[in-house]
Structure 1
Amino acid sequence: MRHNLSVLALVAAQAAGIAGPALAAPAGEFVVAVHQEPQDLAAQGAYKEINAPGLRNVLETLIATDPVSGEYVPILATAWERVDEKTVRLTLREGVQFHDGTEMTAEAAARAISFIWSPDSAFTIQEYAGPGVMSAKAIGPLEIEVTSTEPDPMLEFRLTLTGISSAKQIEESPASHFSHPIGTGPYVFDEWVRGQYWTASANPDWWGLSAEDAYGETTRQFETLRFVFRPEGSARNAMVRTGEAHLATNPSPEDCDAAEGNDGYSCVTGPSDAYLYGRLDQSLHAHPALEDMRVRKAIFHALDYEGIADLIGLASVPQGQLGTPDMLGFDEDLSQYDYDPALSRQLLEEARADGVDVDGLVVEVVGRNTTPRVGSVTEVIGFFLEQVGINTEINVQLPDVFNPRVRIKGYAEEAPRAMMQVHVKQNASGEFGTNLLGNYACPDIDDPSGASRSSVHCNPEFDAKLAKALTLAGDDRDAALKELVGFLHGQYPIIPLALLDKGYLIRDTFDYTFGVDHRFLAVNVTPAEDS
């Protein structure tokens, strides 16, 4: 396959007076076409690449998951150790500065961690919270202790999600924290033009330029990064095809097939920690008909899961749970729900005969327009449900409309309602603990900031067993989580629709390394060997 000059090579050629091929992007700028505009650029958003694409180029974590080995590696912390079941002690990297010129001291790092994980901050990262409340304190100039109020074997994992931002900004200008990130990363935030793009420039003072244990490529950096918001897959595809962008997220299988026949760009794919689900209301504020398990069971068995996976593309059918066999708590004895429309009709008829208002039930199948292929998926789900006699309404909404509706406060305002949220979510933990807490713990209308703020399930017995399971470790944790996963399989609260691979369209000028969490880091983009 033919390779063009890299952006950096083009800069050098132009400086030497050598003519090179023209690119639509400015010299020295790496352009990424992403499928969604950030919800915000707050440091807490470093955990969610889907909703804050590219943010980790500006904001770094204390430790991270290596994209190749999957092991924890040092970033802003150089070492860490367990003190006890509630505490991790970390040694911080010396000589690191935030982009505002302030020093990353232990006090500053502890302030950032406590701010992000405080329940008072009410950040969405709480859905990845553990059994207790996390906080941090300095115990020396470059030493901190991160502590949970309850035993938490996943503290290290939660630190891989925690973006460290300027303590000065948090103290003096907390409002700007949401739109102007100030971190320690290899790129410094420039501007966010709403509805169009956000940009960042190379950080000449980045610690990684001289550290022997820095992550990624440190000898070559782009002058600037530009993240262009293009929810339409065809638009992202066109940007890479014409050279206007160098990387595009979430191509369709058709886009990847087209790339095989084109010089200049390719499609690269790999497994991910993301899944597509249908969260079916059965919480405190659901339509009464959904309280009947026969109705929920009918909905689950009305769907052709293989057909849905084929429609999505780069997807596979889950094994009846929101996870993969390598995850702690996975129940290998479970299987995906059968596609059995005759059973669905029979269950609905039984419920109707017992006085359940099946005919008055209208299930709103709703998705966010930034979820790839959500229009087709919601339509086909609606079609399958209508075929067995369940009335539906199909909605695809903008994030600023959809997001508030999937929080528990939104449920209460619309109660009673019947909603199936078709949504993509990541689970980078490698286990079911955070998955169960964020998706299945009983929501509390008086605490709309809690970990279960988006849960559609409520079972006090389940909650008690989950609270215990989250304090366990090793085989005991695996067994306790597996029991809960098996219980949920028979409760029909959330439909595991598909496990998702992910892909990118990338100019042949570059190589790109990524892990299952698919976090875009420019230091993992390198010139192709034969470019």
Structure 2
Amino acid sequence: MTVGVSLVGLALAACSKKEAAPEAAPDTTPTAQTEPVRGGQLVVAIRAEPAQLNPLVDQGSGAHSVRPALDSLVWDKGDGSYEPWLASSWEVSDDASTYVFHLRKDVKFHDGTPFNAEAVKANFDYVNNPANKSTGSTAKLKPVATVVDEYTVSVKLGTPESSFLTLIAAPYFGILSRQQIEQDPKSLATKLIGTGPFKFDNWVKGQSLTYVRNDDYHWAPAPFHQGAAYLDSIKYVFLPEDQTRFNALATKEAHVVDFIAPEYAKQVKANADFQTQEFLLPGVGYSLHLNTRRPPFDQVEVRKALLHGLNREEIVASATFGAYPVQEYLASTTPDFAKDLKNRIQYDPEQAARLLDEAGWKQRDAQGFRSKDGKRLASFIPYADNDQLAQRTLEQVQIDARKLGFDIQLQPVTDLPERLYNGNYGLLGTFQSEATGMQLWRLYGSDNISDGSTVGSNASFLRIPALDAVLAQARSSGKSPDRARYYAEAQEILPDFAPSVPLYSRARLVAIQKNVHGVAWDKAWPQPYLFDAWIGK
């Protein structure tokens, strides 16, 4: 992988523990207290308030704030292996199409109802029902759950998926109460009833989301302590402005601040008053998807010219203040990333110019832009009008494209999510993080193209039969080495068709006050995991 700035060697950078000055009291350092302290409310500042809480519907912002109340069937270790959680064991068919889960027998939901195979089936039935409009990866697989006995459930997938355990380990498939799903489904949008270490308490729209400890909890995954959580409660506060979140850290109004913006990264990491944890998010980083249903990106030469003609290292270094690395078609921290990738994306403006000449864009108009048959080589890219990082990035893209003779216009909009589905763009910047190469299928597979009746995430609308064949083999490989080999082939194929221009992997930087301990990472959908957290003196 071509790296603009070295951030983390592997998935999780070591927790940066800043030592106190000699005159500071010993118990103010992160390592002074080793015995967890019970009690207190942990305040966590995050960027986005969920549109609604139901994780089985919303795979977006809600996944970053529902985990305290929801457990999953398995715990993803982030390296392609898993620990038991609500499932004590499982079996996978050789073709990765059938998964049988043996469930714990000592778990109850927050409403007092039992966790069993019927409850798990209710969750799968919910996402598999088109009327519920689930956007989650699990729903794409059309899972059919069958109760084998009270504590055994079998799940048959509509299409094989070797990454299925990672998908159901994510918080957007945290298991919800069967009683709530079947008897009060409308409440799913505003209230969570799960089996997690914290119970839903209160949601103040526009301000905060609060959970209180579940004193009956005793089924955490093996890497964590057993028994109830240490904290009395967790309060998420919604602070969408980057500077406001930074101020909440500096004033100690928040114990944990998630998504430290790249412009503050060096300052925060250099400050001895804070601890930092950094995770280079796996999956597909911020990429510019090229709409092949519109000229000029229906020409592969034009797509490849942009892929090789943009100085991605300079663009990313400038836009992210050196905080994020350039990536290939998968982030280097994805378990299926091909470390010995041969077909890497090279910056070569001379090759880009030749490709544009070959595509017939040889002439120049009065402003110096390339043209053909009297039409300028031009396109447009919408971006969320409140996304400062996207704006900085795209302004740099615009400058580089201008050097190629390519006119790219920027459009700040308020309807960016809808653009993916209606195709109203020339280029579209998106970012998706999951700890699996399955993201290549989601973003570049032919069966993920929106067709009017189904909604897909293939934003280039490009069909690549050779890629489809390799992705199908990867997804039906029950063994991890086989899956990795096929996903490596997919990564070699993509630059030849250039459906998108990958720019950067996002380094998720979390800042933590010095007296807070035990903050871990949920690696299935990378985010801080707070079950072990406690507040010292």
Q: TM class by shorter-chain length?
A: 0.7 to 0.9
Q: Which residue, out of 45, 49, 52, partners 1:40?
A: 52
Question: What code does the residue aligned with 1:170 have?
Answer: I
| C-alpha distance in 2 between matches for 1:340 and 1:199 | 51
Residues 132-147 of structure 1: pairs in structure 2 closer than 5 A: 132-147=141-156
Classify the secondary structure of the residue corresponding to 1:124. Answer: coil
Q: Could you say which residue in structure 2 is the equivalent of 1:189?
A: 200
| C-alpha distance in 1 between matches for 2:258 and 2:522 | 14
- The answer to whether the 8 A contact 2:197-2:214 is kept is yes
- The answer to whether the 8 A contact 2:361-2:377 is kept is no
TM-score, normalised to structure 2, is 0.81
Residues 90-489 of structure 1: pairs in structure 2 closer than 5 A: 90-126=101-137, 132-161=141-170, 162-208=173-219, 213=222, 215-216=224-225, 218=227, 220-259=229-268, 262=271, 264-283=273-292, 286-311=293-318, 312=320, 313-318=322-327, 320-324=328-332, 327-328=335-336, 330=338, 332-350=340-358, 351-353=360-362, 356=372, 359-368=375-384, 373-398=389-414, 401-407=415-421, 410-411=422-423, 414=424, 417-418=425-426, 420-429=427-436, 432-442=437-447, 443-450=449-456, 452=457, 454=459, 456-460=461-465, 462-474=467-479, 475-489=481-495
Change in 2 beyond 3 A, CA 1:65/1:46: farther
In the TM superposition, residue 507 of structure 1 has moved relative to its aligned partner by: 0.5
In the TM superposition, residue 497 of structure 1 has moved relative to its aligned partner by: 0.7
Q: Could you say which residue in structure 1 is the equivalent of 2:9?
A: none
Tell me the matched-pair count: 492
Change in 2 beyond 3 A, CA 1:513/1:292: same
| C-alpha distance in 2 between matches for 1:366 and 1:396 | 6
Q: Which runs of no fewer than 5 residues in structure 1 stay unpaired?
A: 16-26
In the TM superposition, residue 360 of structure 1 has moved relative to its aligned partner by: 3.9
Q: Could you say which residue in structure 1 is the equivalent of 2:513?
A: 507
Question: What code does the residue aligned with 1:177 have?
Answer: L
Classify the secondary structure of the residue corresponding to 2:89. Answer: strand
| C-alpha distance in 2 between matches for 1:393 and 1:433 | 32
In the TM superposition, residue 348 of structure 1 has moved relative to its aligned partner by: 3.1
Q: Which residue, out of 472, 495, 499, partners 2:501?
A: 495
| C-alpha distance in 2 between matches for 1:253 and 1:158 | 28
Change in 2 beyond 3 A, CA 1:479/1:214: closer
- The answer to whether the 8 A contact 1:282-1:458 is kept is no
Classify the secondary structure of the residue corresponding to 2:187. Answer: helix
Change in 2 beyond 3 A, CA 1:483/1:259: closer
Q: Which residue, out of 74, 77, 81, partners 2:87?
A: 77
- The answer to whether the 8 A contact 1:43-1:116 is kept is no
| C-alpha distance in 1 between matches for 2:478 and 2:228 | 41
Change in 2 beyond 3 A, CA 1:280/1:453: closer
- The answer to whether the 8 A contact 1:41-1:177 is kept is yes
Percent of residue pairs identical: 23
Q: Could you say which residue in structure 2 is the equivalent of 1:23?
A: none
Question: What code does the residue aligned with 1:404 have?
Answer: E
TM-score, normalised to structure 1, is 0.82
- The answer to whether the 8 A contact 1:99-1:188 is kept is yes
Classify the secondary structure of the residue corresponding to 1:291. Answer: coil
- The answer to whether the 8 A contact 1:309-1:498 is kept is yes
| C-alpha distance in 2 between matches for 1:321 and 1:504 | 25
Change in 2 beyond 3 A, CA 1:499/1:225: same
CA deviation string 1:451-488 (max 9, x = no partner): x4645322345434533442234454444333332221
Greater shift, 183-192 or 238-247, is seen at 183-192
Q: CA RMSD in A?
A: 3.4
| C-alpha distance in 2 between matches for 1:484 and 1:89 | 29
Q: Could you say which residue in structure 2 is the equivalent of 1:24?
A: none
Classify the secondary structure of the residue corresponding to 1:31. Answer: strand
